[in-house]
Structure 1
Amino acid sequence: MFIRITGVKKQVLVSLCLYVGQIAIGYYAAWTGTITPKLQDPEQSPIPYNLTETDLSLVATIVYIGAIPGPYLSGWLSNTVGRKPCLIAGAALGVIGSCILSLATNLAMLYCGRLLLGFNGGVLAVMSIVYIGEIASTNIRGILLIVIGICQTIGTILLFLIGPFLSYSGTTFCGFAMYVCVALGALFIPESPIYYILKGDDEKVKEVLHDLGRSEDIDKLLSVKKEYVQTSSMKDWSELFTIRSNRKAFFIAFVLSSLQNSSGFLVVLYFCASIFKMAGSSLSTDLSMIIIVSFQLIGSVLSSMFVERVGRRIMLLISTFLCSLSMFLLGLYFYLNSVDPSLVEKVKWFPLLILVVYFIAYDFGFGVVPNVIVGEMFTSNVRSKGSTLTMTLAWLWGFFVTTGCGILLEIVGGHVIFWFFTCVCAGAFLFAFFFLIETKGKSLLEIQELLNK
């Protein structure tokens, strides 16, 4: 039944398979939000000894380090053996990593499982963007790419809905089941037409494009085949920086991705228990996070509705402005609380309200537009390389920022940390205003022409 589906329906169905992997990535990205209290409780923790704050902080953020080598390996393999085998391998890594995490009995196993899940996330995050960007028709490409971020949000919501009511093993095993589904589903997806162009297989290009309902793109892609085949034989990264459009694309994608990874989103997810404890909230951390991530879905849904209507640039400007304002007000609350707790005694609900606004705004643009930009801006023959370098450098930066903020949160005070995030989001607003080009409704070739100007 699966192989008989063709056209746009097939593009959507193939993307759905990969979206399950993004749900799992979102699930494990927020994993420590509900697992940390369990690891601190001797009756629930699978670890027979107490973990320090530094141990817990590293368990949360070490996924960044694990993510770094994944895209480099898959970036090379994607042009050598294909995009599809890389997606299958990425899902398999998720199966292994989540299995180790489910069975963990010591800190080393926690680190190992989180590292492998980071490795898996690095492969799937980049390859899903590259793959969907290459199989999708121009009129739905933005929507299919932006749903990647929505699915990660769904994974986060799923974790906070079921995590508080399951054991450590039960919570972790749910992610394992998702990765098994992705690994099996990835066996049946078609190879990317761009991979066949790089290999000079015209018949396969025609066959896949017909199957995907993109027959009108056959002549257009085959007309530039020689350029792709010629550049694909160059086994170095120089073309990423010597070609003007790629150089400009890397600059835009890297800056936006780095700012995204240091905007405060992951700090709230990883260290939500500490934040609400410092804020003196009367609601439990689990209930607060369920409320927050449920509203976060609103931002994700809005982003899918507007991405092909108002465009990527306007969405990002609105999102980063609201994120910056939210972080400023949250920092102000923590500052007043540190000066005189009585000043905020009657507004203990304020941090929850501000974080709801922040999460909606984040998922409306800042959380999803950078992924779309990475999937749209590079030339086809270096898309894997550009995506790899962009994401891994951004993750490395995110690891240092998130780990540092997690350790410093209770030392320097929440107001300092959140005002830092205010500056990051404000910087993203200014960068988008001055440097980001609009890609809505443009083919990948038209985007390259704009970048070359």
Structure 2
Amino acid sequence: MSVVFTLCILFIPETPIFYALQDNDEDLKKVLQDLDRMDDMDELLETKEELKTRDTKREWKDLFSIRSNRKALFVVVVINILQHGSGVMAVLFFSAAIFDMAGSSIPSSLAMIIIGCFQLSGSCVTPIFVERVGRRIILITSSTICCLSMFTLGLYFYLDYIENPVIIHIKWLPLVVLILFYVGYDSGLGIIPNAIIGEMFTSNVRSKGSSVTMTTSWLFGFAVSTAFGALLEAVGGHVAFWFFSATCAVAALFTIFFIPETKGKSLLEIQKAL
């Protein structure tokens, strides 16, 4: 698969911005024709000199000094941290161990295949509805589903921890809960936080803002995934999953109170909303 990926890269053209910066108007025109974006030709040529004289230090300053950029950075950093705080990577890495700990009646290898199929279905749903329903509604719904599913999984592990006899009759529950979690996650919380990064920042600070956001969120995701194994042994699975549930609840509330709807809005309208 890596070889196929590498070969396919050979057929991907450079971006129009690259050709504009290189003063290569011929290739710029060609790639715009291939992308059916000839209407952007004049705008790119007009802004070519501006692109060449961009001040990196000024862009970093604008990211933190301009109020709308500062609030945009706060919004996207927090929601992306909450995305990783939902426990998705930890649950994915430790899924086989989770099924074994839960004493699931379904083999862990088969359960992971089933979950993977439902993940695909969840990922296919959002692109169809995101422009109709809006980012906020999908993100709130997705976070709520993740919250309830993680709470239920934590409750299952708590009942197992206190050796409640009801566990014998619900060995199938971890698989159902994780299917629900991944469908919910991949239909919103796993997609929308990354998508709004490109919609929140002004063009001159977008690369800086997205770099800060992704670096911060993945460091947090690394910390959660690293600590999860130790947490399972130290305090039990129920505490870990209830922590993930609480994080998803915070993500839903944060979306309600802080994230503006960006569906159908121009960058200027989003900046005014911020």
Aligned equivalent of 2:40:
217
Q: Distance in 2 between matches of 1:407 and 1:243?
A: 41
Aligned equivalent of 1:319:
142
Aligned equivalent of 1:268:
91
Residue 260 (structure 2) aligned to one of 434, 437, 440: 437
Q: Which amino acid aligns with 1:348?
A: K
**1:262–1:402 CA contact under 8 A, matched in 2:** no
Q: Distance in 2 between matches of 1:190 and 1:231?
A: 24
**1:262–1:421 CA contact under 8 A, matched in 2:** yes
**2:154–2:240 CA contact under 8 A, matched in 1:** yes
Compute the TM-score of the two structures, normalised by the length of structure 1.
0.56
Aligned equivalent of 1:451:
271
Q: Distance in 1 between matches of 2:202 and 2:50?
A: 11
The question of 1:414 aligning with 2:237 is answered yes
Aligned equivalent of 1:237:
60
Q: Which amino acid aligns with 1:362?
A: Y
Q: Distance in 1 between matches of 2:39 and 2:218?
A: 38
**1:328–1:422 CA contact under 8 A, matched in 2:** yes
- Residue correspondences, number: 272
Q: Distance in 2 between matches of 1:226 and 1:437?
A: 33
Q: Select the structure with the greater relative contact order (CA < 8 A; seq sep ≥ 6).
A: 2
The question of 1:400 aligning with 2:223 is answered yes
**1:308–1:440 CA contact under 8 A, matched in 2:** yes
Does the C-alpha gap of structure 1 residues 383 and 205 become closer, same or farther in structure 2, counting only changes over 3 Å?
A: farther
What 5-or-longer segments of structure 2 have no aligned partner?
Answer: none
Does the C-alpha gap of structure 1 residues 208 and 229 become closer, same or farther in structure 2, counting only changes over 3 Å?
A: same
- Give the deviation of 1:360 after TM superposition: 0.4
Map 1:35-434 to 2 at 5 A: 178-197=1-20, 199=21, 201=23, 203=25, 205-221=28-44, 227-232=50-55, 234=57, 237-434=60-257
Q: Distance in 2 between matches of 1:195 and 1:247?
A: 28
Q: Distance in 2 between matches of 1:384 and 1:183?
A: 25
Q: Distance in 1 between matches of 2:186 and 2:93?
A: 17
RMSD, aligned α-carbons: 2.3
Q: Distance in 2 between matches of 1:366 and 1:225?
A: 37
Q: Distance in 1 between matches of 2:97 and 2:233?
A: 8
- Give the deviation of 1:234 after TM superposition: 4.4
Q: Report the secondary structure of 1:188's partner residue.
A: coil
**1:331–1:419 CA contact under 8 A, matched in 2:** yes
What 5-or-longer segments of structure 1 have no aligned partner?
Answer: 1-177
**1:244–1:452 CA contact under 8 A, matched in 2:** no
Q: Distance in 1 between matches of 2:270 and 2:22?
A: 27
- Give the deviation of 1:233 after TM superposition: 5.6
Q: Distance in 2 between matches of 1:190 and 1:245?
A: 34
Q: Report the secondary structure of 1:348's partner residue.
A: coil
Q: Which amino acid aligns with 2:54?
A: T
Q: Report the secondary structure of 1:231's partner residue.
A: coil
Q: Which amino acid aligns with 2:124?
A: V
